[in-house]
Amino acid sequence: MEATGVLNLIKLELKKTKIGRSILGGFIASFLIMFFVIVVNYDGSEKPFTNYGDVLTSVDLFVSLTFIIYASVLLSKFIIDEYKNKSITVLFMYPIQRKKLLAAKIIIVVLFTFLFGIIGRVVAFYGFYVYNSFTHFIPGELPTSLLIEHGIRFLVNSAMYSCIALIPLYFGMRKYSVPTTIVSSILVAMALNANTGTEFTLSKIVIIPVIIAVLGLLVAYLAIRNVDTKDVA
């Protein structure tokens, strides 16, 4: 019954917020990443991609960065804005548990980020692969073993970064600030993937993004647990 109640709230929330626009935005972001991956090959005489492994790794990075930030926009739309404008108080007046309502909103953001994490990676890489079949930037065939390896990594990273994307909720809920939510997502993305002139980034230490993903889930749990005592005024 609990799961059914949350599922019904998810359906109602999707209708209320016109999720179609967010879906369109997700596809636009995915195709923009694809075009960026293609165009970056024309930047200078030295090609950034020497093999398919480089392309797959770069696609993984660009999509992760993009949808961490995109998720913060969704968090702002589904949660922060409603608290800031006090429109959520109307929903709280209905005989619905606040915890279920907030859980439904968070689940939507997590699922959206996860699904478009996969879609974005597939669109960006497949677009480059088709383009490369005509231009031959990268010679040779795409090894099946490499595709399987990165396919698994795509799934794992999509799941992990959909949890990491919840971190900005903590900062946004403090003062119900949309700019704070979005800026904090940019800082999280930069902290994980910034380098100092080398190829090293924090995201390459596997335990680091895992820990941050767990923190993201903790943020969501605390937000749901404390929703009954959270001051909306």
Q: What is the pLDDT of residue 136?
A: 84
Per cent of the chain over pLDDT 70 is 87
pLDDT band at 94 (very low <50, low <70, confident <90, very high): low
Neighbours of 55 (CB within 10 A): 24
Q: What is the pLDDT of residue 91?
A: 63
Q: What is the pLDDT of residue 90?
A: 65
pLDDT band at 41 (very low <50, low <70, confident <90, very high): confident
More confident residue, 231 or 125: 125
In the predicted model, what is the mean pLDDT of the chain? 87
pLDDT band at 9 (very low <50, low <70, confident <90, very high): confident
Give 220-231 pLDDT, tens digit per residue: 999 888 886 665
Cβ-contact 70, 29 below 8 angstroms: yes
Rounded to whole angstroms, the Cα distance separating 14 from 122 reads 25
Rounded to whole angstroms, the Cα distance separating 96 from 24 reads 30
pLDDT at 232 over 60: no
Query: 144-164 vs 207-225: helix axis angle to the nearest 10?
Result: 40
Q: What is the pLDDT of residue 1?
A: 46
Neighbours of 171 (CB within 10 A): 20
Per-domain residue ranges of the chain: 2-225
